[in-house]
């Protein structure tokens, strides 16, 4: 099978953009332009996509996303789709999320909140309980919702139906808008999307491959999104046959964590530079502390010379935290200072790490 990787669709998108510029479509206003983030060490991709309508019955929406492109898409969904429906939207900016937002939210009285779960929970910390209780729909997308995050979201929005959607900016909304009958984390593929789980393991988990039209004239087949998922059997109450579940991002590339990105190549670089251990594994998790989401990282290391003392573990943790970049410009220790990350913890492993088919060094727990 010929699998398309990200580098393959970089070229395809360049062609589509060149076509748009050379010969604009009849209705150029129906197109939204945005750049995918290049944080995974890949070249960013410029996307020129036709507006995708969204059927979400929330009338007073709050959108939580760091990306301007994603915010704009949801703003246009509210302003342009379904012309007779009086949809309002507040696309939250990070700078809105502070104490003084509470009375404004109370005044706005949202019924639906959508976006990245971490950002939604950060916002929830400044929304009065009564206002949160009036939210009837919460839709998460853009990052994996771990059990800890889900529980925190259930507490924050006790009367909301919690659902997930799955999209990749470079290909669009892969999941359909939730039908309302599926368990949390399960979705139907969107119309026009072919989905395949490639090379599944015993639990049925493998790489998600999608086939879809990127433009009126360009169809891609078997594009590896970089996420791991599985097909769920059985038809849904709504009548649709196909159901899938996303279980995580391919760990060997990167894990996103509370404003930080843990990249395999960076942790390899740090290991090479410091030469304090022979092998390592990074376990990332998100914890909710006083209503705030904090990223927590455990670095498990193996030393051929044998394990060391508690003091050595601390010394290694300090050195790694000062060396490892977790954003393009900031180190782990700098993000600890901002409160986004908990201090790095180092643990010795007495046995070497097993090397599997896909050598996963960074995982999200």
Partner 1 sequence: MKAAQDIQSFVERVRAHDTEFYRDHWGTAQAFGELPPVSREDFRRVPLSKRRYKNGKAMVKVIRDANGPFLSEWAADDIREELYSVPSKRPMVYLSNAHESLEKGAWCRLNGMPSLVGEREPEVAAIEAERFRIDSLITDSTNLPKLRSYLEGRKEKLATISVLDTTFDIPTLRTFDAFAHTVRLVLALPEVGAFAESTPDAYPRFRVMPNCIVEQNGQALVTKLSDLVTPVIRYRFECAEPLECTV
Footprint of partner 1 on this chain (CB under 8 A)?
Answer: 17, 21, 24, 28-29, 31-35, 44, 46, 48, 67-69, 71-72, 75-76, 78-80, 83, 85-91, 93, 95-96, 100-101, 103-104, 107-109
Quick one: what does residue 351 bind among Zn ion, partner 1, none, with the CB cut-off 5 to 8 Å set by partner type?
Answer: none
Closer residue to partner 1 in complex, CB, 84/272: 84
Contact 156, 131 (CB under 8 A): no
Looking at the DSSP bridge assignments, the partners of residue 115 are 64, 140
Closer residue to Zn ion in complex, CB, 236/287: 236
Which DSSP helix (H) or strand (E) runs through 173?
strand 172-173
Q: What's the Rg (C-alpha) of the chain?
A: 22
276-290: b or e for each residue (b if 16 or more CB lie within 10 Å)? bbeebbbbbbbebee
Quick one: what does residue 183 bind among Zn ion, partner 1, none, with the CB cut-off 5 to 8 Å set by partner type?
Answer: none
Closer residue to partner 1 in complex, CB, 17/232: 17
Give the nearest distance from C-beta 234 to Zn ion in angstroms: 11
Residues contacting 292, CB < 8 A, separation 6+: 121, 122, 125, 339
Quick one: what does residue 71 bind among partner 1, Zn ion, none, with the CB cut-off 5 to 8 Å set by partner type?
Answer: partner 1
Contact 223, 211 (CB under 8 A): yes
Give the nearest distance from C-beta 60 to partner 1 in angstroms: 9
Closer residue to partner 1 in complex, CB, 130/202: 130
Closer residue to partner 1 in complex, CB, 72/236: 72
Contact 149, 117 (CB under 8 A): yes
Quick one: what does residue 238 bind among partner 1, Zn ion, none, with the CB cut-off 5 to 8 Å set by partner type?
Answer: Zn ion
If one counts every other C-beta atom within 10 angstroms of the C-beta of residue 12, the result is 18
Contact 54, 167 (CB under 8 A): no
Question: Contact positions toward Zn ion, by CB under 5 A?
Answer: 179, 181, 236, 238, 240
Quick one: what does residue 273 bind among Zn ion, partner 1, none, with the CB cut-off 5 to 8 Å set by partner type?
Answer: none
* Rounded CA separation 17/48 (Å): 6
Give the nearest distance from C-beta 296 to Zn ion in angstroms: 35
Quick one: what does residue 179 bind among partner 1, Zn ion, none, with the CB cut-off 5 to 8 Å set by partner type?
Answer: Zn ion
Closer residue to Zn ion in complex, CB, 238/337: 238
Which DSSP helix (H) or strand (E) runs through 201?
none
Strands 137-140 and 112-115: parallel
């Amino acid at each position: 099978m010929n699998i398309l990787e990200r580098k393959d669709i970089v070229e395809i998108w360049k062609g589509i953009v060149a076509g748009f510029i050379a010969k604009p479509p009849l209705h150029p206003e129906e197109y939204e332009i945005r750049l995918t983030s290049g944080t995974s060490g890949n070249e960013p991709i410029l996307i020129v996509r036709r507006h995708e309508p969204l059927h979400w019955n929330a009338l007073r929406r709050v959108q939580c996303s760091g990306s301007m492109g994603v915010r704009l898409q949801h703003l246009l969904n509210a302003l342009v789709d379904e012309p007779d429906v009086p949809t309002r939207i507040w696309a939250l900016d990070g700078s809105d999320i502070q104490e003084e937002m509470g009375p404004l939210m109370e005044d706005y009285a949202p019924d639906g909140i959508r976006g990245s779960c971490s950002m939604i929970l950060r916002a929830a910390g400044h929304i009065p309980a009564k206002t949160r209780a009036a939210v009837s729909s919460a839709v998460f997308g853009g990052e994996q919702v771990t059990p800890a995050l889900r529980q925190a979201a259930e507490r924050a929005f006790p009367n909301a139906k919690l659902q997930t959607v799955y999209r990749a900016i470079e290909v669009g909304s892969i999941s359909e808008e939730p039908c309302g009958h599926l368990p949390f984390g399960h979705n139907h593929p969107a119309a026009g999307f072919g989905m395949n789980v490639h090379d599944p393991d015993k639990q049925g988990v493998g790489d998600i491959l999608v086939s879809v039209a990127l433009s009126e004239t360009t169809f891609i087949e078997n594009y590896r999104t970089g996420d791991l998922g599985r097909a769920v059997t059985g038809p849904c109450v709504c009548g649709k046959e196909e159901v899938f579940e996303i279980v995580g991002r391919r760990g060997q590339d990167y894990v996103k964590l509370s404003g930080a990105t843990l990249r395999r190549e960076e942790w390899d670089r740090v290991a090479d530079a410091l030469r304090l251990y022979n092998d390592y594994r990074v376990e990332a998790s998100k914890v909710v502390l006083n209503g705030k989401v904090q990223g927590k990282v455990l670095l498990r290391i193996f030393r051929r010379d044998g394990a060391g003392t508690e003091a050595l573990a601390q010394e290694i943790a300090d050195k790694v935290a000062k060396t490892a970049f977790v954003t393009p410009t900031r180190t782990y220790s700098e993000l600890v200072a901002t409160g986004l990350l908990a201090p790095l913890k180092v643990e010795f492993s007495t046995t070497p790490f097993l090397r599997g088919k896909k050598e996963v060094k960074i995982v999200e727990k």
